[in-house]
Amino acid sequence: MAKELKELTPREENYSQWYNDLVIKAGLAESSAVRGCMVIKPYGYAIWEKMQRALDDMFKATGHQNAYFPLFIPKSFFSKEAHHVEGFAKECAVVTHYRLKNDPEGKGVIVDPDAELEEELIVRPTSETIIWNTYKNWIQSYRDLPILCNQWANVVRWEMRTRLFLRTAEFLWQEGHTAHETREEALAEARKMIGVYANFAEKWMSLPVIIGHKSDSERFAGAEDTLTIEAMMQDGKALQSGTSHFLGQNFAKAFDVQFTNREGRLEYVWATSWGVSTRLMGALIMAHSDNNGLVLPPKLAPIQVVMIPIYKGEEELHRITERLDRIATELRARGLSVKIDDRDNVRTGFKFAEYELKGVPVRLAMGPRDVANGTIELVRRDTLHKEVVAQDGLVDRVVGLMDEIQQNIYDKALKFRDGMITRVDSYDEFKRVLDEKGGFILAHWDGTPETEARIKEETKATIRCIPVNAPEEAGVDMLSGKPSSRRVIFARAY
């Protein structure tokens, strides 16, 4: 039974299937009856809630407030910003009617043809348009600025090929939308928020990321600059994990949002927007997990410590759980989330496998001999290292392990990621590295969309970003031979 539970397709054999098995078997999410839409199951949602809480605290600490804007956007709003409409108003869910009625032929309910909307409504794929239409009424003078709003919401993009968490028709996210007096202030906000995301990825998700600018063709539709954090998955593919956009005055112009500046002149408002989504769940799963299941950083683990009594009969169980209860109480008093699993209808081996699958950072098991000896068995999920330790000092040890595991998972991911960065100077080498090793490839690029497009077409690799800290370095483009002043990062990506 333990075997069956854990039966994940091995990572080496089929990474994509391994991922899917893991999401399903660990109880994180599943497909629903609605094409492309997922059900986020309680265990998956508990991780997402922890992400939300941490991010929300960081947003508030940087002066942002939450608000809520409508799910629907009038179709005409999308036409107001030329690039935005190209990027977002195509594959989307369109509401055309507002009533059903009983089928006169008795076949359930049908759409009432008399209840057609005058203007179709689009289920929001992102909310710049409806929000800037709202901000118009909130902003008259520089005294009304900045506006620093965030919303937690669901959005819909009608994706044709979907994968749980990574690409779904409906997903959950947060979108920050800020309004500023000056270009400089908006640029600083966009930089600040990509920094918040990077900090969250590294400190909470144990996920090293590279911060950089998107190329023109990969930029958010309607932005003047898009900052991104790019992470490396274990199969050598990149995953864009969060973006922060400097929108210039594009949406202010599209929705005619002007303010009286400090000099008494009318000016268009400067904007940013930034978001992360349930896609982060995919990044978290793919970056750390193994063939035994999830590996969760302790800060995001719904259960941080699981305790399992190993016993025969009621009397032994009673004696062991009495001890476990006492330890659990102490651990909880130190802020840890602890579960005691004393189910009697499954074997110990099954339980061990289950909590490995679910990525619980620390497992403690106690048998009758441990009671006699004052010991307990401790297993770390990240290393699977097992040891028998004294019950004395256990609580301090486990509390300390949380930081240790958090750091170890990060270090391991960082080491892997750094090993997956390759500097390349010719197109042949580029293609060879891409096929044989994958990962991030640092190469020179002439800055033209033509070269970028040709590389993408021929290799499926895209420019993930132009790192913000890329050093100046004279070179020539691999393909065109034209001059380049710094290397950019290419990769195949999710």
Q: Which residues bind a second copy (CB under 8 A)?
A: 30, 32-34, 37-42, 45-46, 49, 65-79, 85, 89-101, 108-109, 111, 120-123, 130, 133-134, 137, 143, 149, 153-154, 156, 158, 170, 172, 345
**Toward a second copy, which CB reaches closer, 2 or 466?**
2
Residues 443, 436: Cα–Cα separation, whole Å: 17
Q: Within 10 A of 154 (CB to CB), how many other CB atoms are there?
A: 14
* Token pair in block for residue 363: 């497992």
**Toward a second copy, which CB reaches closer, 133 or 484?**
133
- Contact between 422 and 232 (Cβ < 8 Å): no
CB of 263 to a second copy, least distance (A): 17
Whose tokens are 């100077």? That residue is 425
**Toward a second copy, which CB reaches closer, 153 or 271?**
153
**Toward a second copy, which CB reaches closer, 156 or 413?**
156
Beta strand 170-180 pairing with 210-213:
unpaired
Whose tokens are 């699993």? That residue is 341
CB of 242 to a second copy, least distance (A): 20
**Toward a second copy, which CB reaches closer, 91 or 322?**
91
DSSP 244-293: EEEEETHHHHHTT-EEE-TTS-EEEPEEEEEEEETHHHHHHHHHH-BTTB
CB of 320 to a second copy, least distance (A): 23
**Toward a second copy, which CB reaches closer, 49 or 435?**
49
Query: Alpha-carbon dihedral of residues 400, 401, 405, 408, nearest 10 degrees?
Result: 70
CB of 33 to a second copy, least distance (A): 5
> Is 10 in a helix, a strand, or coil?
coil
**Toward a second copy, which CB reaches closer, 107 or 312?**
107
CB of 375 to a second copy, least distance (A): 32
- Contact between 491 and 437 (Cβ < 8 Å): no
DSSP conformational letter for 359: T
C-alpha radius of gyration, the chain, whole number: 26
- Contact between 35 and 321 (Cβ < 8 Å): no
**Toward a second copy, which CB reaches closer, 42 or 349?**
42
Q: Is 40 exposed, middle or buried (0-12, 13-18, 19+ CB in 10 A)?
A: buried
* Token pair in block for residue 399: 């509390």
CA nearest neighbour of 39 among 231, 172, 176, 146: 172
- Contact between 114 and 249 (Cβ < 8 Å): no
CB of 275 to a second copy, least distance (A): 17
**Toward a second copy, which CB reaches closer, 48 or 430?**
48
The helix (H) or strand (E) run that includes residue 363 is strand 362-366
**Toward a second copy, which CB reaches closer, 68 or 265?**
68
CB of 39 to a second copy, least distance (A): 5
CB of 76 to a second copy, least distance (A): 6
Residues 66, 393: Cα–Cα separation, whole Å: 43
> Is 345 in a helix, a strand, or coil?
coil
Residues 214, 136: Cα–Cα separation, whole Å: 29
**Toward a second copy, which CB reaches closer, 151 or 406?**
151
* Token pair in block for residue 332: 């909880």
CB of 174 to a second copy, least distance (A): 13
CA nearest neighbour of 193 among 136, 242, 262, 252: 242
Q: Within 10 A of 315 (CB to CB), how many other CB atoms are there?
A: 10
CB of 79 to a second copy, least distance (A): 4
**Toward a second copy, which CB reaches closer, 162 or 206?**
162
Residues 243, 211: Cα–Cα separation, whole Å: 10
CB of 343 to a second copy, least distance (A): 9
The helix (H) or strand (E) run that includes residue 242 is strand 238-248
CB of 351 to a second copy, least distance (A): 15
